[in-house]
Amino acid sequence: ESVRNDGEVLRLGRLKRRTRPRKVLLLIDVSGSMKGRTDDNMKLAHAVVHAAPNVEVFTFGTRLTRVSRALRLKRREQALSAAANLVSDWDGGTRIGDALQAFLAVPRFGGYARGAAVVILSDGLERGDPSALRDAVAKLSRRAWRLSWLTPLATGPGFQPQTEALIAIRRFVDDLVDGGSSAAIVSHVLSLGQRKAA
């Protein structure tokens, strides 16, 4: 540009930092205690996968299942049907700690959480050892940019956890808020976009 203007510098060129969308990791409880929310949560996950570029989705009950690829199918009914064929523990028990430990044990999966906005949709009614859940959530929180636990049990702004599992993980999560409706979940996920990195 200066050559074009006979060596005169008319405008200082500056590099601009490119903004990249933050990764989103959704971990969805599909156990029996979440049966009333499972369909809506999976529909919401399908919408998020198609709205944002870097989204990974896993389900858990008694085991962990990656459903991201199935949810990338464009037609919602086809995507949810493909996901349903992958998940073998619908409406079963809840072993959140074991599922999260399994997630962290696979390096590729653990990499999905690094620097990501991690959103866990679960009531936190753990049937396994709460210490396994506490340790897994502590590790996950160190990898994530922000860790949000959305539970249908959080019915108001003054919510205090009552279950042993939610009490154990409370200090490791950034948000422990209402996940009892799609509107509440969408509102929280959108609010994450307004937050600045610390």
Per-residue pLDDT band for 198 (boundaries 50, 70, 90) equals very low
pLDDT (tens digit per residue) in 17-41: 777 788 999 999 999 999 999 999 9
pLDDT tens digits, 124-135: 888 888 899 999
Interval 164-190 mean pLDDT:
91
Q: Are 169 and 124 in contact (CB under 8 A)?
A: yes
For domain 24-192, the CATH class is: alpha beta
* Residue 197 pLDDT level (bands cut at 50, 70, 90): low
Tokens of 165: 């599992």
Q: Please choose, from the candidates 159, 191, 193, 190, the residue with its C-alpha nearest in 3D space to the C-alpha of residue 176.
A: 159
DSSP string, 84-97: HHH---TT----HH
Q: Is residue 191 over pLDDT 60? A: yes
* CA–CA distance, 128 with 164 (Å, rounded to integer): 11
Q: DSSP secondary-structure letter at 75?
A: S
What per-residue confidence (pLDDT) applies to 196?
Answer: 59
Domain ranges of the chain: 24-192
